[in-house]
Chains A and B, each alone.
Chain A
Amino acid sequence: MKFSFSAEQDEFRGNLRRLLAERVPTKEVRRLMETAAGWEREGWRQLDGTLGLSAIAIPEEFGGYGFGFGELCIVLEEMGRALVPAPYLATSLAARAILHVGSAADRTALLPGIASGVTIATLASAEDAGNWEAEATTLTATSGGDGWRLDGHKSFVLDGHIADLILVLARAPGSAGAKGVSLFAVEAGAAGFTWQALAVMDPTRKLARLTFDGVAARLIGTAGEAAAPYRRTMTEAAVALANEMVGGAERLREDALAYAMMRMQFGRTIASFQSMKHKQADMLLEVELAKSAAYYAAAAIDEGDDDAEAVASLAKAGAADAYVQTAIHAIQIHGGIGFTWDNDTHLWFKRAKSSEVLFGDGQHHREIMMRNWAA
């Protein structure tokens, strides 16, 4: 299904789009983004429960619906479109990490809570240096008589201030590179764990810096073996974010078009000016190309393609450029009102900018492509 969606998928998308439009209009996005947490547990639980969003891509044996990564990406695209402030991306990626890195026991212990929508989880890998690769990990894990203890910091952690369960990448003291890297699960109430909300440019996407001071942790999977399966998780993270981004980019494009069709200058709509038409044509082209790559990459994950890593980075870098460019055009099309806080365009503009950087910027992902393809 690299080039089209099934009738069931289209129907699911339609239902979800209607639901989000009704329950999370921009007014609601604005209300939530102004709160410190950026999100409300009860409201989210209701929304999540209506369609069982948290269960979508979790295998049936762990309490999920067992749909594919493609379906997860449909949800993310629609959430990106509506700009839903919710820890869905964070929790989904934590679940993918548990699936890829964890043992059967880890999955049985942790996934049902996520699938039911009760556990909010996140994946904490980047640190102050802002590098999401396992190799860059410095936070240490030491094993003693009473189990594993974590010491160090994580930063740029998605929804790290509200997560109940934090999946933490850590390394054995003295190890280097991909060797010695393990994944751990920490509960938010654990002694020695503290979080600090970061002051973020994009108010709809909250990030936290986490401090671990001798925090007791549960080892996920095999000690020292997390780098490879974590890398797979980040490949999926790139695709997930790409799909979220194309949803937002398309929404911006459509809103800017609707505005241009309505706004009159010189006795005609601004949509009748050729430079405005050509800009819209360019925006459509960019967004459609990015959508094609995002969809293709999602299918490549489901189909287990050999070059999924390169394709994922392609989709991430392509979507980021398209989203940011669309946002710039969208503000320009709105004129002065586009620069106001009251106009909604800047909400997506900021999401575009934050997504551009999250999980590695364009340069980083283009280099991953080349490492795969220029062998």
Chain B
Amino acid sequence: MEHTESAVRAACRAWLEAHWDPNRGLIEWRNILIDSGWGAPAWPKRWHGLDLPTGLVPVVEEEMARIGAVGVAKAGIRVLASATILAHGSDMQKEKFLRRSMTGEDTWCQLFSEPGSGSDVAGAVTRADMRGNHWVVNGQKVWTTSAHKADWGLLLARTDWDQRKHKGLSYFILDMKQQGVTVQPLRQMNGHASFNQVFITDALVPPEMLVANVGDGWEVTTTTLMHERRGADGLRSWAQASDRPEHIYQEERAEIATVMEPYKWYPQRAGRVDLLMPRAIETGAIDDPVVRQELAKLLIMAKSAEWTARRARAAQEQGRPQGPEGSLGKLAASHIARAAARLHTTMAGANALLTGPDSPLGGLIAEILVSVPATSIAGGTDEIQRNIIAERVLKMPREPSIDSDRPFRDVPRNTVR
């Protein structure tokens, strides 16, 4: 297959027409899709892919949507897990995890933040010590989205306290379904409880579940975070349940309602820009000159951000690797979400005081208003994104570091543990 839009479209369409069958089981179908390479077409041929340039992936997605085919499982931390394992994992890890992440059989969480280290992820004090032939993990993680649903966790832990801060970390794949791991959901300001505290006491990690080498934890974490930030560029679409009757759609609806449940408010946290115009028309606010101006300002920002993300992707096509530019998109997304929430409030008028089924759009607007603050915190705060842009893109001087020049055990830390 040539790597041109028409060749890819034709090949994908022909394959789908020959193989798509909505009466198959969800996992069965996803396995067929993965075997064909169309499930993750941008991945290497050796690992379930077709080596397709990422710029052509939308063509595949369009063809899938055209015929109504269900895709591989994509939402949530699994995408970050796959990207990280693909970049740094061993062959054994790729074999064990990539397929099952895509079929949806395995669910993931990201165990980075701790009570004493959030923005400062590299300050993690959760420890992993080699005892006998296993790593033994002790510590506490927090804000861990979906930990209560997860089979596996991407774990950042300290393995060497005599090394400097960033050098003493290692990256593991932690089996969440073991005795030493206790998950406690935390209620959020929007009433949902999709993030958790995770208490880890003498949890075990076999040596082959170390990702890359001992001491490489920071580098691997950076890969995960860059993918996370790039994912916040607004180009991602969330899984939408189809209401079609065939068997596979029933299974997909069940998946969205259960495993994907923690993410059901995620579209709202981005501000639901898509709802602004319909709401303006429905409420009559469209005739208000102030609303018109504010809506236009927001559309300028949202469209420009979308086009910037596409420019970044096109540049990547031309051979530049995923870099810190993802931080630009994430910062834009925060501005957009906040502006959208403000406009939704204006258009709701006094009804913005209400929540629940009798409030605008059955509570959806209220959910936007109380979910948007997550956008500028999760995945690295706006301030951290600005630091990254200034230091890595603009090459401005780094913040003075008073904790990276000595063994980590001598670094002053939060007393919270």
Contact = CB atoms under 8 A, between A and B. Distances in A.
B300 A292 contact: no
Contact of B310 (A2, A268, A271, A281): A2
A289 interface: yes
B155 to A, nearest CB: 30
A12 to B, nearest CB: 17
Interface string A241-268: 0000000000000000100110000001
B397 A317 contact: no
Contacts of B81: none
B383 interface: yes
A367 interface: yes
B311 A370 contact: no
Contacts of B280: 374
A85 interface: no
Is chain B's binding surface mostly helix, strand, loop or mixed?
helix
A278 B383 contact: yes
Interface in A286-307: 288-293, 295-296
B126 interface: no
B277 to A, nearest CB: 7
B386 A367 contact: no
Interface string B260-286: 000000000000000001001100001
Is chain A's binding surface mostly helix, strand, loop or mixed?
helix
Contacts of A369: 296, 299-300
A172 B400 CA distance: 70
B296 A3 contact: no
A3 B313 contact: yes
A117 B305 CA distance: 38
B297 A288 contact: no
Contacts of A282: 386
Q: Chain A contact residues (Cβ within 8 angstroms of B): what range?
A: 35 or more
B311 A281 contact: no
Nearest to B389: A281
A335 to B, nearest CB: 17
Interface string A360-373: 00010011011001
B311 A293 contact: no
A3 B311 CA distance: 5
Contact of B386 (A257, A278, A314): A278
A282 B394 CA distance: 11
Given A272-B397, A280-B390, A285-B331, A366 B297 contact: yes
B308 A277 contact: no
A3 B314 contact: yes
B341 to A, nearest CB: 19
Contacts of B296: 314, 317, 366-367, 369-370
Interface in B91-105: none
A155 to B, nearest CB: 26
B286 A374 contact: yes
Q: Chain B contact residues (Cβ within 8 angstroms of A): what range?
A: 35 or more
Nearest to A274: B399
A319 to B, nearest CB: 10
A314 B332 contact: no
A24 interface: no
B303 interface: yes
Nearest to B313: A3
A4 interface: yes
A292 B311 contact: yes
B383 to A, nearest CB: 7
B85 interface: no
B59 to A, nearest CB: 15
A280 B386 CA distance: 8
B291 to A, nearest CB: 9
A269 interface: yes
A277 B386 contact: yes
A268 B396 CA distance: 12
A87 interface: no
Contacts of A374: 277, 280-281, 286, 292, 295
B332 to A, nearest CB: 6
A190 B288 CA distance: 48
B307 interface: yes
A318 interface: yes
Given A268-B397, A285-B332, A292 B390 contact: no
B300 A314 contact: yes
The 5 closest A-B pairs by CB, nearest first: A366-B296, A277-B390, A289-B304, A292-B307, A281-B389
28 contacts: A2-B310, A3-B313, A4-B311, A268-B397, A271-B396, A274-B399, A277-B386, A277-B396, A278-B386, A278-B387, A280-B389, A280-B394, A281-B385, A281-B394, A282-B386, A284-B389, A284-B394, A285-B331, A289-B332, A292-B307, A314-B299, A318-B304, A366-B296, A369-B299, A369-B300, A370-B292, A374-B280, A374-B286
Interface of B: 277, 280-281, 286, 292-293, 295-297, 299-301, 303-305, 307-308, 310-311, 313-315, 317-318, 328, 331-332, 383, 385-387, 389-391, 393-394, 396-397, 399-400
Given A280-B394, A288-B308, 14 more contacts: A2-B307, A277-B386, A277-B391, A278-B383, A278-B387, A280-B390, A281-B386, A284-B393, A284-B394, A292-B308, A314-B296, A314-B300, A366-B300, A374-B281
